[in-house]
Chains A and B, each alone.
Chain A
C-alpha cells in the first residue's frame, strides 16, 4: 500500500527529470559534437553532415605546417601543467599543514593568497608583464607563465587542501610522535600516506587548471604560445575540421591525466593490500 504511493511519480518528477536531461545535453552535447566532427572525411567541412569517416584531420594536424607551432605549444602546455602539478601539490601540502596553526599573520597571508583567485586573470597577466618589463626580465612561458599559472592553481589547491585536512585527525600525528617518530617520520609514515588521495586531487587541479588556462597566459608566456592560446588563434584562421581534431586530442590528454591519477591511487592501494598479505 505504502509501496504503491511512494512509487507513483508526480508531475514534479517529470519536470525535474526533463530539466536534468536538458542539463546533461547542454553539458556534454557540444563536446560530443566536436568529437564526432573531428572524424570528418577529407572533403568534409566544419558542420554536419559528415562526409565519410576518417582520421584525416588528425594526420593533417601533425603533418601540415598550416597550424603553426602546434606540437611545440602542446609540449609547453604539458610541461607547464606538470610543473604546476608538482609545485601545487608540494606547496599546498605544507601550506595546509601550516595553516592548521594560527601562526602570526595567518589571516592576512590567507586573504592575500585568495585575492589572486578574485582578480581578473587578464589584469593579473598584464601586471606580471609590466613587472617583468620594469625589472628588465624577459617574459618566458616557464618563468612568468608558470608564475601566472601558480597564482591561479595555488590558492585553488590550498582551498581543496583545507577541505582535505578537515577530515584529518591531528591525534594521528600525536600518536606517531608518542611512538617516538621524528618530525620527518611523522610526515612520511603518517601524514602524507593518510592525505595521499586528497593530495592527488590537489595535484590534478594543479594540472588541469594550468593546462587550459588562457587569460593569465595571454600576456605572460612571451614569444612562445601555450596550447590554449594556439587553439584560440586557430579558431580565427583555421577553417577545417583539424580544429575539432585538436579539441579531441586535448580532451583525451585531460582524460588521460585523470585516468592516470585514478590508476595511481588504485596501485597504491593494491600495494598496501599486498603488504598486508605478505605479513599474513
Chain B
C-alpha cells in the first residue's frame, strides 16, 4: 500500500499568466503518510493540491503517484479523491446518491451502489439520515458525507482542502481526531491543506511549509517546530523568537554573533561564515528565563514588558526590545506568579547557549506570525 500511494513531485511549476503560483517544487510524500501543507493564503498550497488531484495541470514538471506518471492523467482516474473546502455536496441528490455518485458514473447497478453507499454512510454514523438532502444537514454532518463520498472510490490518496476551516472550534478539534484515526485505519496517504499551525503540528507525519509558491521546508512536525529552516518558517510556525546579529568570530568550535545592542550569542559552527556576515537564529520562547538583573551579556536580551497574557498552563510575556519584533517569553505559571511583572517593567531575558538555533534559509518575510 505504501509504495502505491507515494507521491513524487518533480520540478513542478504552475503559471497563471505571469504569476508563479507554484515555483519549481520538488517534494516527496511517503505512501501512507499524513502530510499537511501549510502557508499563508496565496502561497500555492491549494494549487499544488489541485494539481495532484488533476484539477489543474502543471505548466512544467511531473507528478507521480505510486511511481506512475500522473501529470496529465484525467481527474477521477488517478487514484485520488479530493474533499472540497465547501464540501461541494450535490444539492439535488440524497446523501445516499451523493455518496454513490462515483459508482453511478462508473456504471455500477443502482441497488448495488445504494447498498455500498449506505455501508459507507454507516461508517461515518449518518445512516439514519441517508434519505435527506445536504441542505438539511449541519456543517459537521455535511463534512462527514463529503468524506464518505471521497472514500467510496477507495482512493490511494485522499486530498483535503482546508477540511476543518468551516467548523466551529469544538467540532474542529473533534474532527481532527477523527481524521487522524481514519488515516491510521485506512493506511492511505492523506494530504491536508491548512493555514492553522496547531492543526498541522497535531496531525501530520510530514509538514510542508510553503511561501510564494516555494516549499520552504518539508519535514516532521518536530523538526519544523524545533529546527525551522528560515526566519519565515520560525515566525510562521510560531513558538520561536527570531534574532539577527553580525558574526564576530567563526570557527570549528562555534560562532559568536553580536546583536545591535552589544549582546553576544554562542551559536554552533556556521559553514562558510566570515566575521561581518549577518546571521539569523531563533530561540524557543519556552526555554527562556527572566530576571531583574543583567547577567554576563551572553545569550540574553533586555526589554520592557508591553503585554502579559495568562494562558492557563503558562504565562506569555511580550517584551519590547528595540527591534521590529516583540520578543516573546513563555513562563511557567508557578514561577511567574512567584515574582509577577507589570507592564512597563524592565526585564532581562537569558537562555542556555544550546537553545540558539541557526536559521540557514534566506526567507526573512514575516508571513503571518501565529501568536498563541
The digit string for A215-227, where 1 denotes a CB below 8 A from any CB of B, is 0000000000000
User: How close is B56's CB to chain A, nearest CB, in angstroms?
Assistant: 10
* Chain A, range 185-208, C-beta contacts under 8 Å to B: 185, 189-190, 193-194
Residues in A with CB closer than 8 Å to B80 are 178
The stretch among A4-12, A45-53, A272-280 that forms the contact with chain B is A272-280
Q: Is B88 an interface residue (CB 8 A)?
A: yes
Contact of B96 among A169, A176, A177, A279 (CB under 8 A): A279
Indicate if the CB atoms of B153 and A179 lie closer than 8 Å: yes
* Chain B, range 38-94, C-beta contacts under 8 Å to A: 53, 55, 75-77, 80-82, 84, 86, 88-92, 94
The digit string for A262-280, where 1 denotes a CB below 8 A from any CB of B, is 0000000000100111011
Indicate if the CB atoms of A171 and B105 lie closer than 8 Å: no
CA distance A272 to B93 in the complex (A): 8
Indicate if the CB atoms of A276 and B94 lie closer than 8 Å: yes
CA distance A189 to B107 in the complex (A): 13
Indicate if the CB atoms of B149 and A194 lie closer than 8 Å: no
Using C-beta atoms within 8 Å of the partner chain, give the interface range for chain B. 20 to 34
- Assuming A172-B90, A190-B90, A272-B92, is B75 touching A177 (CB within 8 A)? yes
CA distance A275 to B100 in the complex (A): 14
Q: Is A69 an interface residue (CB 8 A)?
A: no
Q: Is B330 an interface residue (CB 8 A)?
A: no
Q: What is the interface of chain B mostly: helix, strand, loop, or mixed? A: loop
- Assuming A180-B106, A277-B131, A280-B130, is B88 touching A175 (CB within 8 A)? yes
Residues in A with CB closer than 8 Å to B86 are 169, 171
User: How close is B138's CB to chain A, nearest CB, in angstroms?
Assistant: 19
Indicate if the CB atoms of A179 and B102 lie closer than 8 Å: yes
Q: What is the interface of chain A mostly: helix, strand, loop, or mixed? A: helix
Residues in A with CB closer than 8 Å to B53 are 178
Indicate if the CB atoms of B81 and A178 lie closer than 8 Å: yes
Q: Is B114 an interface residue (CB 8 A)?
A: yes
Output the nearest chain B residue to A196 by Cβ-Cβ distance: B92
Output the nearest chain B residue to A197 by Cβ-Cβ distance: B92
Indicate if the CB atoms of A177 and B55 lie closer than 8 Å: yes
CA distance A87 to B76 in the complex (A): 33
User: How close is A265's CB to chain B, nearest CB, in angstroms?
Assistant: 12
Output the nearest chain A residue to B55 by Cβ-Cβ distance: A174
Residues in A with CB closer than 8 Å to B216 are none
CA distance A176 to B105 in the complex (A): 9
Q: Is A182 an interface residue (CB 8 A)?
A: yes
Output the nearest chain B residue to A190 by Cβ-Cβ distance: B90
Output the nearest chain B residue to A181 by Cβ-Cβ distance: B105
Q: Is B144 an interface residue (CB 8 A)?
A: no
Q: Is B162 an interface residue (CB 8 A)?
A: no
Q: Is B298 an interface residue (CB 8 A)?
A: no
- Assuming A169-B88, A194-B90, is B105 touching A189 (CB within 8 A)? yes
Residues in B with CB closer than 8 Å to A177 are 55, 75-76
User: How close is B131's CB to chain A, nearest CB, in angstroms?
Assistant: 5
Indicate if the CB atoms of B97 and A279 lie closer than 8 Å: yes
Contact of A181 among B76, B82, B96, B114 (CB under 8 A): B76
Using C-beta atoms within 8 Å of the partner chain, give the interface range for chain A. 20 to 34
CA distance A185 to B102 in the complex (A): 11
User: How close is A180's CB to chain B, nearest CB, in angstroms?
Assistant: 3
User: How close is A175's CB to chain B, nearest CB, in angstroms?
Assistant: 4
Output the nearest chain B residue to A176 by Cβ-Cβ distance: B101
Q: Is B172 an interface residue (CB 8 A)?
A: no
- Assuming A169-B86, A177-B55, A180-B77, is B114 touching A279 (CB within 8 A)? yes
The digit string for B121-137, where 1 denotes a CB below 8 A from any CB of A, is 00000000011010000
Residues in A with CB closer than 8 Å to B153 are 179-180
Residues in A with CB closer than 8 Å to B94 are 275-276, 279
Q: Is B104 an interface residue (CB 8 A)?
A: yes
- Assuming A174-B55, A276-B94, is B131 touching A180 (CB within 8 A)? no
Indicate if the CB atoms of A178 and B76 lie closer than 8 Å: yes
CA distance A187 to B114 in the complex (A): 22
Indicate if the CB atoms of A179 and B88 lie closer than 8 Å: no
Residues in B with CB closer than 8 Å to A190 are 90
Residues in A with CB closer than 8 Å to B77 are 180
21 contacts between A and B (CB under 8 A): A171-B84, A171-B88, A172-B88, A172-B91, A175-B90, A175-B149, A177-B75, A178-B53, A178-B150, A179-B81, A179-B105, A181-B102, A189-B104, A190-B90, A194-B90, A194-B91, A194-B92, A272-B92, A279-B131, A280-B130, A280-B131
A residues contacting B by CB (< 8 A) are: 169, 171-172, 174-182, 185, 189-190, 193-194, 272, 275-277, 279-280
Beyond A176-B105, A177-B76, A180-B105, list 13 extra A-B contacts (CB 8 Å): A171-B86, A172-B88, A174-B55, A175-B82, A178-B55, A178-B76, A178-B81, A179-B81, A179-B101, A181-B76, A193-B92, A279-B96, A279-B131
